[in-house]
Amino acid sequence: MAAEQELDIRGMMAPFGLLKVTLAFEGLAVGSILKIKVGDRSTVDDILKVLKRFAYLVLDISKIEDYFTLSLKKNSGLEKHQEQH
């Protein structure tokens, strides 16, 4: 079973939140999942741009009440930026 980590960056200023996400994702083992809570959809898009150098699979993007969640699975370098359907 894959390890799962949660990160809440709602209310953080953009550069600090993105840095926190990058550091958390760097520390994940391949196959692990990072669930991120953000305040708006544009932050989801920013996170996906910042993580371009990593291999990941987008498992889910959901709106929950007044925030969004983004779930990413870290892949090996062979599979880059995929979205699960």
pLDDT for position 85: 43
- Spatial separation of the C-alpha atoms in residues 69 and 8, rounded to whole Å: 9
CA distances from 73 to 8, 33, 54 (A): 17, 4, 10
Residue ranges per domain, the chain? Answer: 4-83
pLDDT tens track of the chain, all 85 residues? 579 999 999 999 989 999 999 999 999 999 999 999 999 999 999 999 999 989 999 999 999 999 999 999 999 876 555 555 4
- Spatial separation of the C-alpha atoms in residues 36 and 53, rounded to whole Å: 18
pLDDT for position 14: 87
pTM greater than 0.85 (yes/no): yes
CATH code at 4-83: 3.30.110.40
61 CB burial (10 A radius; 0-12, 13-18, 19+): middle
pLDDT for position 77: 77
